[in-house]
A and B are shown apart, each in its own frame.
Chain A
């Protein structure tokens, strides 16, 4: 029996509460994700995928309900505690890469650790990750000189730097051509297999679905489908 790593209980996010344009972006979502799963969240635009991912990743706080990450309830934490959870447990990969311009690929990877004190060991890890991701020759390049696929791989290295248990990716292939997109998804799958990292990814791209083990479909802030891919 695998351990539960993400549990939500009646997790809700409402916007513009009490007004005529009230939105139930997430509406009482109950979800259990176990260690080592590779999950895709799909659904039409506005169905609440990003909202859910943000709350799972402690980027946003729920209106009501709970998020429990590795037995720790994060729903009531303050900003600093949430920042630490993000630092230690979660890696993010975004559609727009969100690298910091003006600093090298390596510095982007180690950036999260800088205010906490960056050790030599971690810097070596960062170089190792970049090499593993095929960026051995790009270590000191600035983001402006990297291709989209390379940027996303730097972003993945950045997500890996603290050996997180969870990687959350919001449309990580959205800005890439389909070939590069497939490379990225393959990469994530390798990480899932080899490092046992739980990966949750939001996507519009039906072609990526064969790569994942579980598909959750949202509609109007609710889960309307939750299926396992048989391998």
Chain B
């Protein structure tokens, strides 16, 4: 049976090819869209994981760049029960220059090396080459490995922030785009570079001893410093982001659904054309002893074979598109076995649905009509 099915498909190569393209586009679209969205989701949750604890900003500030918090809060906050680290930070963006290149925007982190010396929470505290920042450092920065490559400098080299020269003393590695282009330095240097007043930071990061204490701490701080500070945590943001990603996935599945319907129509349409053209043959097959069910089976098999071939090629293309996206945009993509299975099932359903209606039509052909004339 499969042999005759293949021969039938080869008889009208152009039509089979057209159907294939329909299925391939649908399946490749689903695989690439979904894998990119999964990749983005995973990336975001990785970023969120590197922001631990509670972030305190100026009450009413819409963005950490515009928030100003007095460092004097640090001593008070450190005394709260259950607090492990109280880390004043400056989080902003800045242009940088080196002898060779100018980069208009990089992330600039200012931190207190003394307070954070045991803390390894975020990637910019860890240095893989060179050394970490010390409180005594006056004109030193640590930068991300990727940034170092982009500006073509070595450890010991110079960068310019706000018209002043700084020495690169170490680099850290990160595969997260957010930390990819980043300069970490002391609070004083960051203030100078970003024109922030003495004793001011953009936020204070409170890391609890025990993660379970986080909500309690957040509530205490919110009440005690009402009108002065606002407390945020990434778990909260992560809730928003997770639901956003949830919506994104629903939207992607909806797009995939539409792709599926379109693919189904393409398959139905070409199968219908193919069936209409071969009506006489079906009558002949009946005359020589085939039952209706045999013909229906043959047509649906043709449709499924086409869809599955299209599915395999489509998955290949989809993975290609994902790999391409990762290569050119650094957006990681995730092609899971589940996704491949789902895409193949999707192709299969397209084949079955696309085959059923045309197959039913074939049953109407009477052998008498087919064999005379």
Q: A residues engaging B (CB < 8 A)?
A: 50, 54, 57, 59-60, 79-80, 83-84, 86-88, 92, 94, 96, 98, 100-103, 107, 111-112, 114-115, 158, 162, 170
B4 in contact with A94 (CB, 8 Å): no
Query: Is the CB–CB distance between A59 and B287 below 8 Å?
Result: yes
- A selection of 8 A-B contacts at a CB cut-off of 8 Å is A83-B286, A83-B291, A83-B292, A86-B287, A100-B281, A102-B8, A111-B285, A115-B298
- Bound CA–CA A101/B284 (angstroms): 12
Interface centre among B10, B288, B368, B371 (most CB of A within 10 A): B288
7 A-B pairs with least C-beta separation: A87-B289, A115-B294, A102-B11, A112-B288, A83-B291, A112-B289, A59-B367
* Residues in chain A near residue B366, CB distance under 8 A: 59-60
With A87-B288, A170-B371 given, can you name 20 additional A-B contacts, CB distance below 8 Å? A57-B287, A79-B291, A80-B291, A80-B293, A83-B286, A83-B290, A84-B289, A84-B291, A86-B288, A92-B287, A92-B371, A98-B284, A98-B287, A103-B4, A112-B285, A112-B290, A115-B1, A115-B291, A115-B294, A158-B288
Task: Report chain A residues within 8 Å CB of B8.
Answer: 102
Q: B216 at interface (Cβ–Cβ under 8 A)?
A: no
Q: By the criterion CB–CB under 8 Å, are B371 and A115 in contact?
A: no
Shortest C-beta distance, B364 to chain A (Å), equals: 12
Cα of A92 to Cα of B288 in the assembled complex, Å: 7
CB distance from A167 to the nearest CB of B (A): 12
* Complex: A114 Cα to B1 Cα, angstroms: 6
In the bound complex, residues from chain B placing their C-beta under 8 Å from that of A54 are 368
Known: A102-B11, A103-B7, A107-B4. A115 touches B368 (CB 8 A): no
Interface residues of B in 247-302 (CB under 8 A from A): 280-281, 284-294, 297-298
- B104 touches A (CB below 8 Å): no
Residues from chain B with a CB closer than 8 A to the CB of A98 are: 280, 284, 287, 370-371
Contact of B239 with A by CB under 8 A: no
> Across the interface, do B284 and A115 meet the contact criterion of CB distance under 8 Å?
no
A166, chain B: closest CB distance, angstroms = 13
B7 & A96 in contact (Cβ 8 Å cutoff)? no
Residue of A nearest to B286 (CB): A83
Which listed residue, A59, A94, A115, A170, touches B290 by the CB 8 Å rule?
A: A115
Instruction: Judge whether B373 is part of the interface by a CB distance below 8 angstroms.
Output: yes
Across the two chains, which residue of chain B brings its CB closest to A90? B289
Q: How far does the alpha carbon of A96 sit from the alpha carbon of B372 in the complex, in Å?
A: 8
**Which of chain B's residues has its CB closest to A79's CB?**
B292
Interface 1/0 per residue, B307-329 and A, CB below 8 Å = 00000000000000000000000
Chain B residues positioned under 8 Å from A102 (CB to CB): 7-8, 10-11
Q: How far is the CA of A54 from the CA of B366 in the complex (A)?
A: 11
Within 8 A of A (CB), among B342-373: 366-368, 370-373
A residues near B10, Cβ cutoff 8 Å:
102
Minimal Cβ-Cβ distance residue in A for B12: A102
Given A50-B372, A54-B368, does the pair A100, B284 have CB atoms closer than 8 Å?
yes
- Cβ distance B2 to chain A, nearest Cβ, rounded Å: 10
Chain B: minimal CB distance from A228 (Å): 29
Q: Which of A50, A57, A79 gathers most chain B CB within 10 Å?
A: A79
Which residues of B1-57 have CB atoms within 8 Å of chain A's CB atoms?
1, 4, 7-8, 10-11
Q: In the assembled complex, which residues on chain B have CB atoms less than 8 Å from the CB atom of A60?
A: 366-368
- B8's nearest neighbour on chain A, judged by CB, is A102
- Find A86's partner among B7, B289, B292 (CB 8 Å cutoff): B289
Contacts of A84 in B (CB 8 A): 289, 291
Note all chain A residues with C-beta closer than 8 A to B4.
103, 107, 111, 114
Minimum C-beta distance from B319 to chain A (A): 34
Q: Which residues of B contact A80 (CB under 8 A)?
A: 291-293
How far, in Å, is A219 (CB) from chain B's closest CB?
Answer: 20
A100 to B370, CA, bound (A): 12
Measured between beta carbons, the chain A residues less than 8 angstroms from B291 are 79-80, 83-84, 115
Cα distance, A102 to B15, chains bound together (Å)? 15
The 8 Å CB contact of B371, one of A94, A100, A111, A112, is A94
Closest beta carbon of chain A to B302's beta carbon, Å? 13
Residues of A within 8 A of B368 (CB): 54, 59-60
CB distance from A173 to the nearest CB of B (A): 16
Give A84 to B11 CA distance when docked, in angstroms: 28
Q: How far is the CA of A111 from the CA of B293 in the complex (A)?
A: 15
Query: Could you say which residues of chain B place their CB within 8 Å of the CB of A79?
Result: 291-292
User: What is the distance, in angstroms, from B294's C-beta to the closest C-beta of chain A?
Assistant: 4
Q: Tell me the smallest distance from the CB of B6 to a CB of chain A, in Å.
A: 11
Q: Which residues of B contact A83 (CB under 8 A)?
A: 286, 289-292
